[in-house]
C-alpha cells in the first residue's frame, strides 16, 4: 500500500442501501446443489475480514466476507 492509498474505515465498507447479501441469498435458493450458509465466527472476526479485504458489502464478495 502506498502512502497515497488510504484504507477505508469499517463504516465506509458497509452498504445498507443495496447490500449484496440479497443477491447471494437468491443464488443459494436457485442453486442446483445444496448450499450451506455458515454463521460468522464472531463480530470481531467479521470486522477484521472486512477491513483486510477492503470490499464493500454492496458486492457479493463483501456480503460473503
Supply the pLDDT for residue 48.
Answer: 95
With 0-12 / 13-18 / 19 or more C-beta atoms within 10 angstroms meaning exposed / middle / buried, residue 15 is: middle
Q: How confident is the model at residue 27 (pLDDT cuts 50, 70, 90)?
A: very high
Average pLDDT over residues 47-56: 96
7, 47 Cβ separation under 8 angstroms? no
pLDDT-derived band at 5 (thresholds 50, 70, 90) equals confident
Task: State mean pLDDT over 33-61.
Answer: 94
Structural domain boundaries of the chain?
Answer: 10-32+40-64
- Which whole-number Å values give the CA distances from 52 to 9, 17, 45, in the listed order? 10, 22, 10
In terms of phi and psi (left: phi > 0; alpha: psi -120 to 50; beta: otherwise), the region of 57 is alpha
Amino acid at each position: 500500500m502506498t502512502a497515497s492509498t488510504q484504507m477505508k474505515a469499517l463504516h465506509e465498507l458497509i452498504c445498507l442501501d443495496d447490500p449484496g447479501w440479497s443477491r447471494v441469498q437468491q443464488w443459494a435458493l436457485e442453486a442446483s446443489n445444496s448450499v450451506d450458509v455458515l454463521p460468522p465466527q464472531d463480530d470481531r472476526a467479521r470486522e477484521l475480514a472486512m477491513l483486510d479485504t477492503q470490499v464493500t458489502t454492496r458486492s457479493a464478495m463483501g456480503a460473503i466476507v
